[in-house]
Amino acid sequence: MRRFTALGLILSVFSLSAAAAGDTQWLSYNGTVNGQRFADLNQISTDNASQLVEVCRAKIDEGGAFQTGLLQLDGVLYFTTASDTLAVDATNCAIRWRHHYATEEPGGTPFLVNRGLAAANGKLFRGTPDGRLLAIDMTTGKLVWKFQVGDPSQGEFFSAAPQIYEGLVIIGAAGGDWGIRGRVMAFDTESGREIWRFYTIPRDDEPGADSWKNAPSARYGGGGTWTTYTLDMSAGELFVPVGNPTPDLMPGQRPGTNLYTDSLVVLNAATGKLKWYYQLISNDGRDLDLGAAPMLYFNGKGDRMVAFGGKDGYLYGVNRETHKLAFKTPVTTVTKPTVIANTKSIHSCPGPLGGTEWNGPAFDRLHNAIVIGTVDWCTTLTPSPTFAYKPGVFNLGGSFKLDDKHTGWIMSVDADTGVPRWKFATPSPQVSGVTPTGGSVVFAGDIEGNFFVLDSHTGKSLYQKATGGSVAGGVITYMRAGKQYVALTSGNVSRITFGAIGSPSLVLYALDATNTPPAPTRTATQP
Helix (H), strand (E), coil (C) string for 212-274: CCCHHHHHHCECCCCCCCEEECCCCEEEEECCCECCCCCHHHCCCCCCCCCEEEEEECCCCCE
Neighbours of 92 (CB within 10 A): 15
Backbone φ and ψ for 301, nearest 5 degrees, come out as -90, 0
With a cut of 50, which residues of the chain have pLDDT below it? 1-20, 515-527
The C-alpha atoms of residue 527 and residue 524 are separated, in whole angstroms, by: 9
Neighbours of 153 (CB within 10 A): 14
Examine residue 305 and state whether it is found in any structural domain, yes or no: yes
Examine residue 358 and state whether it is found in any structural domain, yes or no: yes
Domain count, the chain: 1
Examine residue 340 and state whether it is found in any structural domain, yes or no: yes
pLDDT of residue 105: 83
Q: Which amino acid would we find at residue 53?
A: V
Could you tell me if 148 and 134 are in contact, meaning their C-beta atoms sit under 8 angstroms apart? no
Examine residue 267 and state whether it is found in any structural domain, yes or no: yes
pLDDT of residue 501: 80
25 CA to centre of own chain: 18
Give pLDDT tens digits for 404-456: 999 999 999 999 999 999 999 999 999 999 999 999 999 999 999 999 999 99
CATH number at residue 381: 2.140.10.10
Examine residue 374 and state whether it is found in any structural domain, yes or no: yes
pLDDT of residue 275: 98
Examine residue 294 and state whether it is found in any structural domain, yes or no: yes
Q: How far is CA 372 from CA 316, 323, 341, in A?
A: 11, 22, 32
Beta bridge partners of 148: 132
Q: Which amino acid would we find at residue 20?
A: A
Give pLDDT tens digits for 62-102: 999 999 999 999 999 999 999 999 999 999 999 999 999 99
Could you tell me if 474 and 525 are in contact, meaning their C-beta atoms sit under 8 angstroms apart? no
Examine residue 63 and state whether it is found in any structural domain, yes or no: no
Structural domain including 317 reads 198-411
Examine residue 258 and state whether it is found in any structural domain, yes or no: yes
